[in-house]
Structure 1
């Protein structure tokens, strides 16, 4: 791309330079991560925002830019997406910005300027380019996004080791979905949930959220065709182009099995046999799916860290929207939603003996999910085998209250109410 074309593209992507508003979707929700990113802007380190394609990384950047533009000259903010322009280099953008936009050399910068680089993983060796600028001590802050953790990590490499703040943007939580729908709610703590006055409204909206998932593009119209297109972009733009995938049929087959069996333990040998491939290929492809944020593992909770990571984990699909593409039991989908909510509080594990769905060791919480019309005390009995320092929860479809079982209190909490809680 010629220099004049790059300048034209930069002006196109930065309408605020022309005193035009920041272009945002009709319903742009302030994500839970936004306050943390705004605080990161004070740091000298490079902030990298990673997450699944279409979870809203670009919208988050635009919201941050809109907030910044209220306080400083708009020319001090430069956004550039490398999604369809990976042949352009970050140092080239910085150079043109210096010469054509602010018309100052970088050493002359008295006030900080901000570069927001979207889909930076498209650019090979981007970390060294950013480091070469940052090492000179210019008054510059870099914020970058990427759809693959491994490629962001490779881009950081040794050059930016210790100089980055990595932030994970996840699919929409239920509270973010409620904000999208402009519905007020009172957020309680996990240990003391607040049963709201508008519980009937929240239950109805939770059913919508359970159907649609955490990808905002699907909220106005649940389209399986659009969902397939999004998934294909992840496969062929974020995995196949970035990783050594020789058999895309096996990659897709693994993901489909994982979606249909989300919240279940993975059996690598069975996967290899069912998909007519090698055991090693299954393990490698599972790692690619995790690095691209499509899945997440839950390891067994045991005292010895090395021992817990040797055993086969449970696998959860990162967004329950994908369960619409294939058959998935409602109970497994419900456990996946609970897991994906609770991992915002801390990294979850599961327990083998007694068999417990989700354990939060730091918060000392044990959670069993029984998403069905009626629950019985026998559903909660495994929880009571844990030590007395654990708080016990039975996640239900509707039941709310407290049971005393074997001298232990078990809190019954509907899944929709759990999903409005914090730590």
Structure 2
């Protein structure tokens, strides 16, 4: 039984820790956009990507607020029936506050009705959660039109530069060298903030284990735990490669491809793995065909995966995919006789085609250009881009198409002020 005294102690303990929390690196979102309206703000993303720190950054703009973190073992017996007691204790501690910050709200079944009630009472509410479906489906059912969503990822490359104290503008020879060193680190180590701070590989392994066992195996009651572990490791080791549910099932010895489909869905909900479909005018063929699977972060990938080589090309492709997700792009891959890594579309048409190649050399130069050109022709485009590690040139194909070759690091930092954050209102 969770007594009022115990609950009040937890509230005070958590608020003390929250107030003392480092506000960290400012993220690439429009903070004012979310504070100037009365909608509920939801922040979802993989564990340890900085959601609580983002809450702390929002909190600096308020004179008083309530805070609760439900990812706390002392609240194991907390239920939806306890929310009324929680509000009474909040008001006892800070009578006049009208702002509430809540971490990992999805851990309490029935939370959405409580949030709707206090929102109707005039509270400004910020929520975080580590499960995409639980947060979005419950809000969509009970709070349609009342919330704005932020999907947070581990640090972007510009955020890493800020973390490292590197100013990319103006771009001098000295700063370019610093940027390249930082990019080498980012390519291999990814962007989990605490890992970058302490460089402890065990931190990424512990985070991965928490996601696998607490957020997926326990929540969904997975019985084939060993087979599930093997599936995740296989996906991490083969990020960016084409696969089907049948081929994945055979690779790890799972009898049912439908089980694999469910497992991949769970991994997506936990923001650990993402599916990319081949572009096709037929949605049925899109969903039934081969997919590519990408993972949340290169640092975590390198901690978990079997690596038989440097595979820097795969790391570069995975990095670009996650950046496109961060920007909120609708993405596909292209494959006919040639291949193109990313087709980016808005509601009406293709807006951009991207090919990823660590280095354009004599072996693969013609193939990469041909695949990109075929994708451009199929989508009525005259310009395309090949992203490389550090090459830059302009190419005109025999049929007059323009191909811009540029370093990924430059693509990551160009036009930062003009980019919308990855959110929905």
Q: TM-score, normalised by structure 1?
A: 0.86
Q: How far apart, CA to CA, are the structure 1 residues paired with 2:34 and 2:113?
A: 21
Asked if structure 2 preserves the Cα contact closer than 8 Å seen for 1:364 and 1:391, the reply is no
What are the equivalent positions in structure 2 for 1:33-44 lying under 5 Å apart? Answer: 33=29, 35-36=30-31, 38-44=32-38
CA contact (8 A) 1:185 1:196 kept: no
Q: In the alignment, what sits opposite 1:342?
A: 324
**How far is 1:139 from its partner?**
2.2
Match of 1:327 in 2: 306
1:258–1:285 Cα change, 3 Å:
same
Unaligned runs of 5+ in 1: 105-111, 188-193
Shift of 1:394: 1.1
Contact 1:338 1:418 in 2 (8 A): no
CA shift in 2, pair 1:399/1:13, >3 Å: same
2:235 aligned partner: 258
Q: Partners of 2:169 and 2:330 in 1: how far apart?
A: 24
- After superposition, the CA RMSD in angstroms is 2.3
Distance 2:7 2:382 in 1: 58
> Match for residue 94 of structure 1?
87
Aligned with residue 78 of structure 1, among 63, 66, 74? 66
- Give the equivalent residue in structure 2 for 1:201: 178
8 Å CA contact retained: 1:87, 1:123: no
Take 2:278 and 2:169, find their aligned partners in 1: how far apart are those partners? 33
The counterpart of 2:203, out of the listed 217, 221, 226, is: 226
Aligned equivalents of 1:418 and 1:402: distance in 2?
A: 15
**Structure 2, gaps ≥5 residues long:** 420-425
Correspondence list, 1:53-202, <5 A: 53-66=47-60, 68-69=61-62, 73-74=63-64, 77-84=65-72, 85-88=75-78, 89-98=82-91, 100-103=92-95, 113-134=98-119, 137-156=120-139, 158-186=141-169, 198-202=175-179
Q: CA deviation at 1:222?
A: 2.8
* 2:16 alignment counterpart: 15
TM normalised by structure 2 equals 0.86
- 1:275 is matched with which residue: 252, 255, 273? 252
Quote the residue 2:343 is aligned against. Answer: 359
Aligned to 1:24: 21
- In structure 1, the partner of 2:423 is none
Contact 1:171 1:319 in 2 (8 A): yes
Do residues 413 (structure 1) and 406 (structure 2) align?
yes
For residues 285 and 40 of structure 1, the distance between their equivalents in structure 2, rounded to whole angstroms, comes to 34
Structure 1 distance, partners of 2:322, 2:52, is 22
Q: CA deviation at 1:197?
A: 6.3
Deviations 1:389-418 (A, max 9, x none): 253111112211211122222111112222
Q: Report if the CA contact (8 A) 2:188-2:315 is conserved.
A: no
CA deviations 1:190-234 (Å, max 9, x no partner) are: xxxx89762111111100111211111111343322211111111
Contact 1:13 1:79 in 2 (8 A): yes
SS at match of 2:321: helix
Change (3 A) 1:221 1:158: closer
- Structure 2 residue 286 is the aligned partner of structure 1 residue 293: no
Question: Aligned partners of 1:86 and 1:183: how far apart in 2?
Answer: 43
- Counterpart among 216, 223, 231 of residue 239 in structure 1: 216
* Alignment partner of 1:391 is 2:383: yes
From the superposition, tell whether residues 401 and 130 of structure 1 become closer, same or farther in structure 2 (CA, over 3 Å).
Answer: same
**How many correspondences in the alignment?**
394
Q: Is the 8 A contact 1:373 1:397 kept in 2?
A: no
CA contact (8 A) 1:51 1:293 kept: yes
